[in-house]
């Protein structure tokens, strides 16, 4: 099976976690696109979704799903999203698609985070995938200098986030203590969101492998 097929399989598997009649949190990315396709085909009754990006909102609305602003919702039972890397503690690097800030916010208010990923995303130590950091535009150079002091090599992405900010993709870090890194990087003034999901990692991992979908619990 190729990567695309593995993404399709985990997107399908995530349907088992959708609670009919409850508001659903929906992430962003090509794996989540497969999940949205499967959700549409399943016919499961979802009263509304909260989405983590303009991209996912558009796809959901095109399929006829109602999408609510998070300010209209107090609680989400299940949030389904992908990852760029996930470690054995279910800490993740996210933000390859640039939606890290809204993803982190929706994840925060969700009871259960279901991560859907193909097996290439499972790593022992986070960091081979460059860490996305969303930054206030005027602070790009200042934040870059702080990152360099910590041994990272920031590369400015040619992209503006849904929130009007910029993204630095940071190469060269091995993020063994992901939680400590998340806290340290959060302290840099000008940083909006660090694409490390350690304090709020995944609760369930649906991993697409050549042997089928493996379900792992945190
Ligand atoms: C977007 C994300 C995605 O979840 C992550 O980039 C994985 O994407 P894909 O499913 O396309 O591999 O964090 O900001």
Q: Is 103 an annotated catalytic residue?
A: yes
Ligand 1 centroid to 117 CA: how many Å?
A: 9
What local confidence, expressed as pLDDT, does residue 82 receive? 98
What local confidence, expressed as pLDDT, does residue 24 receive? 98
User: Whose CA is closest to atom 6 on ligand 1?
Assistant: 96
pLDDT in tens, 47-100: 999 999 999 999 999 999 999 999 999 999 999 999 999 999 999 999 999 999
What local confidence, expressed as pLDDT, does residue 32 receive? 98
pLDDT in tens, 133-158: 999 999 999 999 999 999 999 999 99
Position in ligand 1 atom list of the atom nearest CA 81: 4
What local confidence, expressed as pLDDT, does residue 211 receive? 97
Ligand 1 centroid to 32 CA: how many Å?
A: 8
What local confidence, expressed as pLDDT, does residue 117 receive? 98
pLDDT in tens, 188-203: 999 999 999 999 999 9
Distances, alpha carbon 162 to alpha carbons 123, 186, 193, 200, in Å:
29, 20, 13, 22
Q: Are strands 196-197 and 92-93 parallel, antiparallel or unpaired?
A: antiparallel
DSSP secondary structure string for all residues of 159-202: ---TTS-EEEEEES--BSSHHHHHHHHHTSTTEEEESEE-TT--
What local confidence, expressed as pLDDT, does residue 88 receive? 97
Ligand 1 proximal residues by C-beta, below 6 Å: 27-31, 81-84, 94-100, 103
User: Whose CA is closest to atom 4 on ligand 1?
Assistant: 82
Q: For tokens 């870059």, what's the residue?
A: 144
What local confidence, expressed as pLDDT, does residue 176 receive? 96
What local confidence, expressed as pLDDT, does residue 146 receive? 98
- 85-86 sheet: strands from edge to edge: 85-86, 92-93, 196-197
User: Vertex 30, ends 26 and 32: CA angle to 5°?
Assistant: 20
What local confidence, expressed as pLDDT, does residue 162 receive? 98
What local confidence, expressed as pLDDT, does residue 178 receive? 98
Catalytic, out of 41, 45, 103, 148: 103
User: Whose CA is closest to atom 7 on ligand 1?
Assistant: 83
What local confidence, expressed as pLDDT, does residue 180 receive? 98
How many separate helices (H) and strands (E) can be counted in the chain?
Answer: 6, 13
Position in ligand 1 atom list of the atom nearest CA 31: 10
- The pLDDT > 90 percentage for the chain reads 99
Pocket perturbation via mutation, ligand 1, pick of 7, 55, 84, 92 by most ligand atoms within 8 A of CB: 84
Q: How confident is the model over 164-189, as a mean pLDDT?
A: 98
Predicted confidence band of residue 43 (pLDDT cuts 50, 70, 90): very high
Tokens of 71: 């300010």
Predicted confidence band of residue 111 (pLDDT cuts 50, 70, 90): very high
């Amino acid at each position: 099976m190729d990567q695309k097929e593995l993404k399709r399989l985990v997107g399908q598997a995530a349907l088992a976690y959708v609670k009919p009649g409850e508001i659903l949190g929906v992430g962003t990315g090509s794996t989540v696109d497969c999940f949205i396709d499967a959700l549409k085909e399943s016919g499961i009754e979802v009263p509304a979704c909260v989405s983590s990006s303009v991209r996912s909102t558009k796809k959901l609305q095109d399929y006829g799903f109602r999408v609510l602003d998070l300010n209209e919702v107090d609680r989400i039972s299940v949030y389904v999203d992908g990852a760029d890397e996930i470690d054995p503690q279910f800490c993740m690097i996210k933000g390859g698609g640039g939606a890290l800030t809204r993803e982190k916010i929706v994840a925060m208010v969700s009871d259960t985070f279901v991560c859907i990923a193909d097996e290439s995303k499972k790593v022992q130590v986070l960091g081979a995938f460059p860490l996305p950091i969303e930054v206030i535009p005027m602070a790009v150079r200042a934040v870059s200098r702080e990152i360099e002091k910590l041994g990272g090599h920031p590369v400015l992405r040619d992209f503006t986030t849904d929130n009007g900010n910029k993204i630095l993709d940071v190469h060269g870090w091995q993020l063994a203590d992901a939680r400590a890194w998340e806290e340290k990087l959060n302290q840099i003034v000008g940083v909006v969101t660090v694409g490390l999901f350690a304090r709020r990692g995944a609760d369930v991992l649906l991993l697409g492998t050549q042997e089928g979908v493996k379900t792992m619990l945190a």
